[in-house]
Structure 1
Amino acid sequence: MEIVLLMVMSLFTCLWGLRVFKDCPHPDEKKRLQLSRELGLEPRQIKFWFQNRRTQMKAQLERSDNNALRQDNDRIRSENIAIREALKNVICPTCGGPPGGEYFDEEKLRLENARLREELERITSITARYTGRPISQLPPVPPISVSSLDLSVGSLGGQGMGGHALDLDLLASSSSSDPQLPFQTTAISEMEKAVMADLAASAMAEIIRLLQTDEPLWRKSTNDGRDVINHESYERLFPRACSLRNPDTSIEMSRASGVVIMNGLALVDMFTNLNKWVECFPTVVSRARQIEVLSPGMEGSHSGSLQLIYAELQVLSPLVPTREVYFVRYCQQIEQGMWAVVDVSFDITRENQLVSPLQCRRLPSGCLIQEIPNGYSKVSWLEHVELEDRVPTPRLYRDFVSSGMAYGAERWLATLQRMCERFACQMVSGASSRDLGGVDGRRSMMRLAQRMVNSFCANISASSGRWTTLSGLGDSGVRVIAHKSTEPGQPTGVILSAATSIWVPVPWQNVFNFIRDERNRAQWDLLSHGNSVQEVAHIANGSHPGNCISVLRTLNASQNNMLLLQESCIDSSESLVVYSPVDLPAINIAMSGEDTSYINILPSGFAIYSDGRRDQAAEGASSSSLQGNTSRSSGSLITVAYQILVSSLPTARVTVDTVSTVNNVISNTIHRIKAALNCPRS
């Protein structure tokens, strides 16, 4: 009897829910509380029931669309059969026989029919997923010439250590601005361009609303003061976007705003020019490729520009997998002196299969740029991504990534602010007493240092290829990879790269200040052989004293002709110390303002992050003057990377002895840094 009663109550609840769902498929919190009281259920049960019901309705609509497509297919097939039968009775007027040719071939008709059906299903699926509107309602797209694209997959083969030599991983040039894609695709169809345009317009409206709305959509975190999204408010504002999400993925969303020392039009030009965009974010973007310009936009303002882009986003460590994203970038001038730039992922399919099966999808993300007086701009940034959890984050970086510090809006904005300061310093005509002589000389040195930093960032991430892990140094180990270098700006021959990442219980600003100070270099740099190091030239490239370029000389060294070019940089999210040996004649070339693109650079250095763990006891321990909440970290994540020219012969082999030597150099360097920072032995 009790079971029957439960079944009756369940049936009554279901019927009651269906009636309410018909009137209001997206009940707000007040309505859910009312239903929970009337039905005697928890509010979470009410919420989940409505979510499940919306998913069921969506599936029913998809099945209905599929049935309609099948009926259209059957009709087309019947028409083809009728045409074929009618053609059997046609007589050719020339020869008096039956007609021939490829057009009337039965197999051709069958294949063409199948192709049309697949194309219709694919476009219908894309339209339903991204716009929720039928094809007939999509805006027309003007004809755009489609260039032939070479999108073949590159091979990054390689093997590990074996015998007495390490097989080489032949890598593409790290400075290449046109990387090969991890998938193959063909030219974009006109229908796909129409869907992309509609998707970009919807994403633009969403991001403007998210950036211009505060409470109750956003609230301030009590821990660090960052903006945190209110998911219930977001679901009420954007119910369709929430209903399309994959339940097996996780969502990251963050927002930040700040003032940037660059005018609005220059910022817009930087975002719409892929090479400038990559150059502005070398620590975040490991590589990028423009697939196609769908619309160039208005000349001068870039308003209306639409591009299809592939990019890899990185954390500067060989341990952390890069995030590959494939997205449409849309720029629109909102009003005089205000622009919006939005990125949103778009999955291209071929033959009902994704050709971009990436683990990270960029939901509406981007920035709002508003010009303010004196050449400055206020930038509001939003990052919104959907992630699959197929590749877990290494334990060492788990807190850093999960806190949003690795890929969140704060890191993008902080990098933009630092790089815009650097660009501004490059244009300043004044010089300090230690600056290199002449405006042209300073700018030439800054370009050389920037190329050094870009090369370091490109070669340190997990996207550089298949690293071979050596034993030692805890869970991470030292990772090595070799490649043949033939491009100008790098030594010709075989180059061995080695890197590892560690954690130390010291605030990351303290680690940065210790490593960048040339007076401490003899304590950790094995190659200085204990000799003192002197700064002989200095270029400031930011308001923080840690943002600078230095030329260093080792005192009492046997090779007085060899100097070190070093750039250190820091912002509220990360810091770098990158250096490379450069001989005196090359420094003189740079100081004279000549072209430095052919000066050989082989950078090594350090990437330093907060560990992402919040420690209230450490809040007052740091005296950094940086903006943002950077003093609450309990420790630092340090990546140490070296590059060594093994041989100038491209046919040379990397021996186990060479790898062992590099391993020992990195291990001893880390040991010395830990000892100098008074870290406990691990």
Structure 2
Amino acid sequence: MVHEGQLKNTEPDIGVNMGDDELIYLPDIEEYDMDALMGDEDQLNTDQAIFCEEHNLDKVSSSKRPKRFTVQQLQQLESSFQKCSHPDDEMRQELAAKVGISARQVKFWFQNRRSQIKVRSCGTENNKYRRQNAELLATNMELKEQLKGMTCSRCDAPTIMQKWQLMDENAKLREMYSLASAELTKLMQEANLPPSVILEDMALVTSMNPLSSNASSSRSTINQDELLSYVECAIKEFEMLVRDGTPLWLPTIGGDVLNSKEYACQRFPRLHGTIRPEGFVVEATRDTAIVKGSAPDIVDILTDVPRWYKAFPCIVAALRAYHVIFSGPFASGNVLIQELLQINVDLSVESPRPPLRNMKFLRITKQNANGDFVVVDVSINDVQGIHEQQGSQHKHTMLPSGCLIKDKGDGYCQVTWIVHAEYEEASVPPLFRQFYQSGLAFGASRWLASLQRHCEYMVVKHSIQVPTGCVSGSGVLTLSALGRWNLLELAQRMMAIFYKTTSGLPTVEPGNIVTRWGRGCMGTTGEMLEPAVRMVLGNYFGAMDGQPSPLQVLSATTTVWLPGTPPESVFNYLCNGQRRGEWDAFVCAGAVQELSSVATCPHLHGNAVSVLCPNVTNAANNAMLFLQQTSIDVSRALVVYSVVEETMLRSVLDVSDDTSNLVLLPSGFAILPDGHGRAHHAAASNSSSALAGLNGTAGCLLTAAYQVPVPFNNLRHPDVQETYENAGKRICHAIKKIMDAVGAPIVVPI
């Protein structure tokens, strides 16, 4: 049953703006009156997905209708809107409690109210240009009538003078058309209106000139039926992929891989209207795992885009834009869709070498009759009308991918994840191509492992009691519930900064300095290693809420390939506190003592957040501690740490509920399997089996990062030059010590 306050149309007019502007979907009404959207009384755009979760759609009576707001509620909402039209989460919570509705309802009421003001503000301008378009049309018709009498009686053709006059008039009309089109487009963007709202106005202009009409048609929005047909096919193909086993999927130790020949016989031609571009390769993987959390919890993570972005910081490097195209149960053919989103993101791996992978896709959410949830992602650049404009520019295409979520009870669910994509192989550096082709870069196993790690981390963070065995060490630093929360909050922020530091492009503000140190060359255990190190000199970007910071930071990052060296060998060496001084100059060839530790994944050893104390330190570095997080799963291993002042850290962990004032400059290592040996997926009790390869050919890609504050943002300053040189030498020294410790036969700088 469609809510009265929403569009009263069983097939809403869905216009899709494929740019980055916010989408607003309006009915085809003359004056863009928002009251028509909100009903006779101010009506709320309630979240149909939650409505369906609380009430089975098959059991809801068609006579039930949502309650409208009372006059007092509307007055309170309007009063708050006049004070602040963009409330934050805390303000929405307070207002919801005051008014007596949910925070989500407050959110959508404010969205509708802002849209109403925007649409009304541009209504006058739209009407003015509508009249101008009509006048232009009338002038054009007048000229056509005059043209009939301006012909030569002998040859029935215009004279030279008449031709010049017509050309002059046409030039003036084209100029007027360009100005009117630019103004209409500007108004549309300022009001966040979809192009479909002003198609009638554009028709008046383009009808004057066939060439203009052809140009306009190439920019028109996707037809509603075209979009829904595409979405329905994407869902059906994903369900075919997630349902069928052999021979469509071929089992391997590292998860299932797609049988391309069998898939070609079963795929939906609607989703493959064009031949795969030359030089593109396919990555298609499937994996299944048990995840901590209920099915609705996992769906909420995936459909709340900002939350999804924060849940996968190691994969999603940047969230460029997202729009809610439709929210609420909507029937498209035989498919009942809960939500339709448009998302534009950059994906990354923990290395500065591979470029970011930009993906612009639709995310469709639906619930099956048996209660299972399906979340499907599919690129939008293959929709007819968009592929012609953007297909040649895209180096990555996402075919129907996503996950099937089945609730298993007792706070767990089974998630089957599928990644099916095409990408331009030339966009990947040669030494990373096996890593990408194996599916370890952006495949199903990596997404699933990241989801498991995030869910377990949040369970530990929100638990009331510290799990048995999670606090260890000498007892010098005992964690309370607040201390554990703050410790994990600090570690979470530290890891987010580390991922930004090691991403494919410098994630710093424009204008900062990016350069390289050293030369790439072959290195062995007996040779000096000089890999190319990316140096980024800029502002500290680890401050909370994106606030600018006067602190200048140098970030040095490099990646080397250790063929034949298992990732777990490097991880175990880096986690050995007794040998820390071999590669970490801060501890002066000494060891480190663990003061406290919280296990973030109790069933898998090696995943923890710890506070470490050097046994021996430099005099200048006295009273300093390490905040360190170690993590290992089937997709990669991490050892990340930040040096913090002991008094500051103790203060934050003991009494403070605000961790944003603590500056974190994370350094550390990301250890990725090189793809030459697929990883085992069996959960293990120790880290040594988490990344074991099929055979001795499996190696790893080691990324080392180091950050240090600098006094000046000037490359020519002697102190900065010295810091550059020391940072490069420090990274090379650490890699050399790792090579010697694990017996790496050869190291290839990338």
Instruction: Provide TM-score, normalisation by structure 1.
Output: 0.69
- Is 1:470 equivalent to 2:517 in the alignment? yes
Residue 212 (structure 1) shift: 0.8
- Is 1:578 equivalent to 2:640 in the alignment? yes
Q: Alpha carbons of 1:201 and 1:464: their partners in 2 closer, same or farther (altered >3 Å)?
A: farther
- Counterpart-to-counterpart distance in 2, 1:648 and 1:497: 14
- Is 1:611 equivalent to 2:683 in the alignment? no
Q: Alpha carbons of 1:486 and 1:238: their partners in 2 closer, same or farther (altered >3 Å)?
A: closer
Q: In the alignment, what sits opposite 1:210? A: 241
- Counterpart-to-counterpart distance in 1, 2:537 and 2:451: 32
From 583, 606, 630, give the equivalent of 1:568: 630
Q: Is the 8 A contact 1:325 1:345 kept in 2?
A: yes
- Is 1:345 equivalent to 2:379 in the alignment? yes
Q: Is the 8 A contact 2:579 2:590 kept in 1?
A: no
Q: In the alignment, what sits opposite 1:245? A: 275
Instruction: State the SS of the aligned residue for 2:740.
Output: helix
- Is 1:427 equivalent to 2:427 in the alignment? no
Q: Is the 8 A contact 1:217 1:234 kept in 2?
A: yes
Residue 531 (structure 1) shift: 2.3
Instruction: State the SS of the aligned residue for 1:335.
Output: coil
Q: Alpha carbons of 1:677 and 1:375: their partners in 2 closer, same or farther (altered >3 Å)?
A: same
- Counterpart-to-counterpart distance in 2, 1:563 and 1:370: 44
**Structure 2 unpaired stretches of 5+:** 1-136, 150-167, 182-187, 195-218, 331-335, 508-512, 523-530
Residue 567 (structure 1) shift: 0.4
Q: Is the 8 A contact 2:315 2:349 kept in 1?
A: yes
Q: How does 1:390-401 map onto structure 2 within 5 Å?
A: 390-391=426-427, 393-401=428-436
Q: How does 1:232-381 map onto structure 2 within 5 Å?
A: 232-238=261-267, 240=269, 241-248=271-278, 249-297=280-328, 304-335=338-369, 337-347=371-381, 353-354=389-390, 357-381=393-417
- Counterpart-to-counterpart distance in 1, 2:192 and 2:424: 33
How many residues are treated as equivalent by the alignment?
521
Q: Alpha carbons of 1:357 and 1:148: their partners in 2 closer, same or farther (altered >3 Å)?
A: farther
Q: Is the 8 A contact 2:568 2:692 kept in 1?
A: no
- Is 1:589 equivalent to 2:619 in the alignment? no
- Counterpart-to-counterpart distance in 2, 1:89 and 1:351: 43
Instruction: State the SS of the aligned residue for 1:572.
Output: coil
Write out per-residue CA displacement over residues 88-113 of structure 1, whole angstroms, 9 at most, x where no aligned residue: 899xxxxxxxxxxxxx9755765799
Instruction: State the SS of the aligned residue for 1:563.
Output: strand
- Is 1:412 equivalent to 2:447 in the alignment? yes
Q: In the alignment, what sits opposite 2:569? A: 510
- Counterpart-to-counterpart distance in 2, 1:449 and 1:576: 13
- Counterpart-to-counterpart distance in 2, 1:360 and 1:270: 24
- Counterpart-to-counterpart distance in 1, 2:453 and 2:387: 45
Write out per-residue CA displacement over residues 241-282 of structure 1, whole angstroms, 9 at most, x where no aligned residue: 445232412221111111101111111111112221122211
The amino acid across from 2:479 in the alignment is G
- Counterpart-to-counterpart distance in 2, 1:641 and 1:627: 23
Residue 436 (structure 1) shift: 4.2
Instruction: State the SS of the aligned residue for 1:246.
Output: coil
Instruction: State the SS of the aligned residue for 1:312.
Output: strand
Q: Is the 8 A contact 1:486 1:493 kept in 2?
A: no
Write out per-residue CA displacement over residues 285-325 of structure 1, whole angstroms, 9 at most, x where no aligned residue: 111123322123369xx962222211111111111122111
Q: Is the 8 A contact 2:402 2:418 kept in 1?
A: yes
Q: How does 1:88-237 map onto structure 2 within 5 Å?
A: 106-107=170-171, 147=192, 191=222, 195-221=226-252, 224=253, 226-237=255-266
- Counterpart-to-counterpart distance in 1, 2:643 and 2:315: 25
Write out per-residue CA displacement over residues 457-497 of structure 1, whole angstroms, 9 at most, x where no aligned residue: 01111122685332245265222121123763597322111
Q: Alpha carbons of 1:521 and 1:148: their partners in 2 closer, same or farther (altered >3 Å)?
A: farther
Q: Is the 8 A contact 2:566 2:693 kept in 1?
A: no
From 417, 420, 423, give the equivalent of 1:387: 423
Q: Alpha carbons of 1:516 and 1:197: their partners in 2 closer, same or farther (altered >3 Å)?
A: farther
Residue 423 (structure 1) shift: 1.3
The amino acid across from 2:540 in the alignment is S
Instruction: State the SS of the aligned residue for 2:505.
Output: helix
Q: Is the 8 A contact 2:329 2:337 kept in 1?
A: yes
Q: Alpha carbons of 1:624 and 1:602: their partners in 2 closer, same or farther (altered >3 Å)?
A: closer
Instruction: State the SS of the aligned residue for 1:499.
Output: strand
- Counterpart-to-counterpart distance in 2, 1:430 and 1:254: 38
Q: Alpha carbons of 1:246 and 1:522: their partners in 2 closer, same or farther (altered >3 Å)?
A: same
Q: Alpha carbons of 1:524 and 1:627: their partners in 2 closer, same or farther (altered >3 Å)?
A: closer
Write out per-residue CA displacement over residues 210-236 of structure 1, whole angstroms, 9 at most, x where no aligned residue: 101112211224xx3631222222122
Q: In the alignment, what sits opposite 2:538? A: 483
Write out per-residue CA displacement over residues 536-561 of structure 1, whole angstroms, 9 at most, x where no aligned residue: 11111102121100101112323442
Q: In the alignment, what sits opposite 2:610? A: 550
Q: Is the 8 A contact 2:613 2:624 kept in 1?
A: yes
Residue 336 (structure 1) shift: 5.0
Q: Is the 8 A contact 2:352 2:502 kept in 1?
A: yes
Q: Alpha carbons of 1:398 and 1:446: their partners in 2 closer, same or farther (altered >3 Å)?
A: same
Q: Is the 8 A contact 2:566 2:692 kept in 1?
A: no
The amino acid across from 1:272 in the alignment is T
Q: In the alignment, what sits opposite 1:455? A: 497
**Alignment RMSD (CA, Å):** 3.8
Q: Alpha carbons of 1:336 and 1:146: their partners in 2 closer, same or farther (altered >3 Å)?
A: farther
- Counterpart-to-counterpart distance in 2, 1:228 and 1:472: 38
The amino acid across from 1:547 in the alignment is N
- Counterpart-to-counterpart distance in 2, 1:84 and 1:283: 63
Q: In the alignment, what sits opposite 2:737? A: 672
- Counterpart-to-counterpart distance in 2, 1:389 and 1:611: 16
Q: Alpha carbons of 1:570 and 1:623: their partners in 2 closer, same or farther (altered >3 Å)?
A: closer
Instruction: State the SS of the aligned residue for 2:640.
Output: strand
- Counterpart-to-counterpart distance in 1, 2:678 and 2:539: 45
Residue 655 (structure 1) shift: 3.6
Q: In the alignment, what sits opposite 2:591? A: 532
Q: Is the 8 A contact 2:577 2:592 kept in 1?
A: yes
Residue 193 (structure 1) shift: 6.4
Q: Alpha carbons of 1:601 and 1:234: their partners in 2 closer, same or farther (altered >3 Å)?
A: same
Q: Alpha carbons of 1:452 and 1:194: their partners in 2 closer, same or farther (altered >3 Å)?
A: farther
- Counterpart-to-counterpart distance in 2, 1:428 and 1:216: 44
Q: In the alignment, what sits opposite 2:726? A: 661
- Counterpart-to-counterpart distance in 1, 2:675 and 2:542: 38
493-502 or 631-640, which deviates more? 631-640
Q: Alpha carbons of 1:439 and 1:190: their partners in 2 closer, same or farther (altered >3 Å)?
A: farther
- Counterpart-to-counterpart distance in 1, 2:491 and 2:711: 24
Q: In the alignment, what sits opposite 1:441? A: 483
627-636 or 409-418, which deviates more? 627-636
Instruction: State the SS of the aligned residue for 1:340.
Output: strand
Q: Alpha carbons of 1:637 and 1:567: their partners in 2 closer, same or farther (altered >3 Å)?
A: same
- Counterpart-to-counterpart distance in 2, 1:229 and 1:355: 24
Q: Is the 8 A contact 2:486 2:652 kept in 1?
A: yes
Q: Alpha carbons of 1:405 and 1:315: their partners in 2 closer, same or farther (altered >3 Å)?
A: same
Q: Is the 8 A contact 1:196 1:346 kept in 2?
A: no
Write out per-residue CA displacement over residues 55-92 of structure 1, whole angstroms, 9 at most, x where no aligned residue: xxxxxxxxxxxxxxxxxxxxxxx9997663237899xx
Q: Is the 8 A contact 1:492 1:650 kept in 2?
A: no
